[in-house]
Amino acid sequence: MRAGRPGLIGTVARTAVVAGTATATSHAVNKRIQHREMEKEAQSQQMVPGEEQIQAPPAPVSAQTGVTQEQKMAQLKQLVELKQMGGLTEEEFQQEKQKILAQ
């Protein structure tokens, strides 16, 4: 019997589409990895601040195509962290995982 039961749900609002979450998240993760690489490089070359922006992105990370095994691992790690924080539902997590592995 559903009629007359006390309700469980408060206000219902549509959320951003889940598919959006997936791309946005992996994109963000990519960006961050890229940034870390840049930082490393910058440190090793002892660059002057400001030059960092002028410099082209370092060679080992090609954001569009070749995703290295290392990057995949890093992405998976991020994903697990995100899930543990409660930022992803199990379903989103699985979807993302498949995407990362399929790259």
Partner 1 sequence: MSLGPVEYMVIEFPGNQFKGEIIPALREVVDAGVIRIIDLVFVRKDDQGNVSVMELNDLQQDAASAFAPLARDTNTLLAEEDIQKVSEIVENNSSAALLLFEHLWAKRFRDAVLNAQGRVIAGERIKKEVVDAALAWRPGEQGAAGGSTAS
Q: Which residues in this chain contact partner 1 in the complex, by CB under 8 A?
A: 1-9, 11-16, 21, 24-25, 27-29, 31-32, 35, 49, 78, 82, 85-87, 89-91, 94-95
Amino acid at 42: A
Task: Output the six-digit token pair for 3.
Answer: 């009629």
Q: Which amino acid is at 21?
A: T
Q: Which is nearer to partner 1, 28 or 63 (CB)?
A: 28
Least spacing, CB of residue 65 vs partner 1, in Å: 21
For 52, the token pair is: 């960092």
Q: Least CB distance from residue 13 to partner 1, whole Å? A: 7
